[in-house]
Amino acid sequence: MIASATPAGYRSALGALLADPGVDAVVSIFIPPLGVDQEAVAGAMAAAALEHPDTPVLAVLMGRNGLPQGKAELHDAGIPAYLFPESAARALAAMCRQREWLERPVDVAETLPVDRSRAARIIGHARSERRTKLSEAEALGLLDAYGIATAPAESASSADEAALAATRVGLPVVMKIVSPDITHKTDVGGVRLGLETPEAVREAFTAMIDEVRRRMPDACIDGVLVQRMVKGGRETIAGATRDRLFGPLVMFGLGGVLVEALRDVVFRLTPLGPRDAAEMVAGIRGASILAGIRGEPPADRAALADAVRRAAQLAVDFPEIEEMDINPLLAFEHGVMAVDARFRIAESRT
């Protein structure tokens, strides 16, 4: 249309577009030239839209004074009006996303086979001791009970116990400090990697305990966790938090030490079905990393989705769990494995 288009021309053009079965929506844009009444053009848009109520119409009135002239006529016809085309495009995109969401197939959250009684014993033991944080060994046991693969690990309270534990779980190992007062172990020197012999484990035990005590002299140290070292895999994070109104919110994203910087995570409400879990895995910004880049094989996204569903079921089954972080949850070409986890549970109440 040209600058001299009249209200009748707008009504005719808009009517023709709305009558076309190949047109799904129309954004009608008007920039008023001299001698053309904006209110009359708005009325022509409204009249054409009312004749074709099944096709969405959005209007853009770019007059010098903005929207006042013609806004009432458009709104009375159910047509939203905007100052700029970009605003109308964003609104139309939001409408499209909403319709796609509403038309999604119904997802059924089936109950997965788990060892709920074992998980109940772990949580019950911590509550009986009036603890709000699970030890890492308890956290890994909880995940194992719900079918999320974990790296073999044992607790130790002395250098000799740590060396024996290393031979049982399989060398090389990782050694991590166990303390209810320490959340980020690497910040205080509480992690040792790649220990390949029992002698190396003994030496690392002594050195690590001394360093942690020097950095955090008031921390209560319960010992160490000796865990088989797992190499490779892409670091992801899964977990849940409990909202006062909505209940458990499940989270998935890229993990590791950069999770707080990248903040590449998505959330869903529970219960969580297989389609929801698959959409979470595919919905992060860094999904291409999981798909495989520069010759890397793709990560097992089906196994990731299964782990997310199991974490969601764990949060639903036990309302005592207020926070759950599985980080990192390593994703391999075949399968996943959790190597670290944190749980916060509610205080025991009478």
Interval 109-138: pLDDT, tens = 899 999 999 999 999 999 999 999 999 999
Residue 340 confidence (pLDDT): 92
Taking 50 as the threshold, does the pLDDT of residue 350 lie above it? no
Distance CA 101, CA 90 (A): 16
**Radius of gyration of the chain from its Cα atoms, rounded to whole angstroms:** 29
Residue 108 pLDDT grade (very low, low, confident, very high; cuts 50, 70, 90): confident
Distance CA 154, CA 160 (A): 13
Domain assignment present for 261: yes
What is the pLDDT averaged over residues 186-208? 95
Q: SS3 for 155?
A: strand
Taking 70 as the threshold, does the pLDDT of residue 273 lie above it? yes
Contact status, residue 34 vs residue 4, Cβ threshold 8 Å: no
Q: Are residues 76 and 169 in the same domain?
A: no
Q: At which of 175, 197, 229 does a domain end? A: 229
Residue 212 pLDDT grade (very low, low, confident, very high; cuts 50, 70, 90): very high
Domain region containing 178: 152-229
Tell me the average pLDDT of the chain: 91
Distance CA 120, CA 80 (A): 54
- Half-sphere exposure of residue 175: CA atoms within 13 angstroms, side-chain side: 33
What is the pLDDT averaged over residues 274-286? 94
Contact status, residue 227 vs residue 173, Cβ threshold 8 Å: yes
What is the pLDDT averaged over residues 67-94? 87
Residue 26 confidence (pLDDT): 96
Could you tell me which residues are beta bridge partners of residue 58? 27
Domain assignment present for 2: no
Q: At which of 192, 211, 229 does a domain end? A: 229
pTM above 0.85, yes or no: no
What is the pLDDT averaged over residues 328-332? 95
What is the pLDDT averaged over residues 166-184? 92
Residue 63 pLDDT grade (very low, low, confident, very high; cuts 50, 70, 90): low
The CATH number of the domain holding residue 252 is: 3.30.470.20
Q: At which of 161, 196, 229 does a domain end? A: 229
Domain assignment present for 34: yes
Residue 64 confidence (pLDDT): 64
Taking 60 as the threshold, does the pLDDT of residue 349 lie above it? no
Dump pLDDT digits (tens) for 11-57. Answer: 999 999 999 999 999 999 988 777 778 888 899 999 999 999 999 99
Taking 80 as the threshold, does the pLDDT of residue 66 lie above it? no
Least confident of 67-76, 134-143, 293-302: 67-76
Taking 90 as the threshold, does the pLDDT of residue 274 lie above it? yes
What is the pLDDT averaged over residues 171-179? 95
Q: Are residues 215 and 296 in the same domain?
A: no
Distance CA 126, CA 322 (A): 14
Domain assignment present for 301: yes
Q: Are residues 172 and 115 in the same domain?
A: no
Q: How many domains does the chain have?
A: 3
Contact status, residue 134 vs residue 142, Cβ threshold 8 Å: yes
